[in-house]
Structure 1
């Protein structure tokens, strides 16, 4: 299954346009936590949906296996983790609990990645005008994408105040980077050889003594054993790369591959 790559949060998909005009987006869904996990000893985890809009939200919840190949995100149907209920009807101001349940154990010492895709099911079109004029409005469908990580025995990544654990035992990504040229385009390629994912934000390149942004804000994820690429300007000579990894406040210097 192909979905927009490197997306995080809400995607807006236009369903139909009658001329160009105000957007009708009466439903707005708040989702928390935005980074759910299934610990090795957890059978299930909770995801909450709250309708902050003015109309009832009809939602479809699906969980896809997530991997990365050819420098892109790939999604496949799976039954290892199930979201329940698969359909939710949430009135304005109300909440819905979605239970994320694993159906089998994860391999020891490994992290498995998933994407929770929450689609708004469009309701009936509002009545058209009765004065013969064309309605000027855009109908939007909301799509939300939430990452989910599940762990096998002996591995964890996300701190949890209810679980006293030695931070030194946490799984951490092991990142290296290199500059590559392919098809006449230049890229920074980041490889993750660690046991857990890397969520990258505010990546900067050191060029000629100056730090220049590679990606401002969320750059994306690099899953264990995968490599991802980001385009750079022609002729740019980078000597160092750094950025924030998995929400840590201090920027991390990423080693250059040799």
Structure 2
């Protein structure tokens, strides 16, 4: 069961970089769900960087326990695939955050990046709020929070994407195509570059200049050298002719997504 990211959480600080916030329904062992905050919302390793900092903050009045895991992230068959990894590790993997305090979790890279790696490596850090085993069980159920934070290890000689100025992206390395089915838009994207592309604020721009929003906020990522597909329900008839547009990474405005078939 999932809910929209509430405005009070860290992940709402930047709509273009929002992370997924999932509320997991579990047996209630405490009453502090929703008090755990995580920052930053994206982690990026330079090619020689061996560790990165993730901060967990407890805004409640009871201690919060959390588990931190790292999984490798790839895209196969036009969908996200997560797998166990030892390339990045969380230290500590289990943490207690006292009320009003914040605790540091180090995301550590034990081995240097091999010289043969030409593409950016992608991971997800999962922060799961744990039920409090020693508290009395209340009569109802509660939500426990789960955060998913994208982590990227830059390839050799690549520029950091989270620190550069917000300039228009070169859209040519993102190869897209789309087709319309009954009430559905199918968007396929291939990233020919060596770093990720983040899509947000997807819309349809008719040739007369009108824009129909299709997916406000974050649509998702196309990882370096990989393929992704989205199937989006259409609630209205789109005016033709026209084209898709989206914000790419931190570009200040939406850019056309040029279809290979156009």
Aligned-residue CA RMSD (Å): 3.3
Cα shift at 1:235: 6.4
Q: How does 1:82-101 map to 2 (within 5 A)?
A: 82-101=89-108
Flag the 1:128–1:219 CA change in 2: closer, same or farther, 3 A: closer
Residues 33 and 142 in structure 2, CA contact (< 8 A), matched pair in contact too: no
- 2:20 aligned partner: 9
| TM-score when normalising by structure 2 | 0.78
| TM-score when normalising by structure 1 | 0.79
Between structures 1 and 2, the one with greater strand share: 1
More divergent stretch after superposition (218-227 vs 120-129): 120-129
Aligned partners of 2:34 and 2:27: how far apart in 1?
17
1:121 pairs with 2:130? yes
Cα shift at 1:44: 1.2
Residues 27 and 51 in structure 1, CA contact (< 8 A), matched pair in contact too: no
Q: How does 1:146-157 map to 2 (within 5 A)?
A: 146-157=149-160
SS at 2:245's partner residue?
Answer: strand
Aligned partners of 1:112 and 1:171: how far apart in 2?
20
Residues 184 and 231 in structure 2, CA contact (< 8 A), matched pair in contact too: no
Q: What stretches of structure 2 of length at least 5 have no aligned partner? A: 1-17
Provide, for residues 199-237 of structure 1, a one-character-per-residue CA deviation record: whole Å limited to 9, x for no partner. 111111124633111211111111122222232438645
Cα shift at 1:90: 0.7
Cα shift at 1:79: 0.3
- 1:204 aligned partner: 203
Flag the 1:108–1:67 CA change in 2: closer, same or farther, 3 A: closer
Flag the 1:63–1:182 CA change in 2: closer, same or farther, 3 A: farther
Aligned length: 238
Q: How does 1:28-177 map to 2 (within 5 A)?
A: 28-106=35-113, 107-124=116-133, 127=136, 135=139, 137-160=140-163, 174-177=173-176
Flag the 1:254–1:128 CA change in 2: closer, same or farther, 3 A: closer
Q: What stretches of structure 1 of length at least 5 have no aligned partner? A: 1-6, 18-22, 130-134
Cα shift at 1:111: 0.3
Point out the structure with max Rg over C-alpha.
1
Aligned partners of 2:182 and 2:76: how far apart in 1?
18
Cα shift at 1:172: 8.4
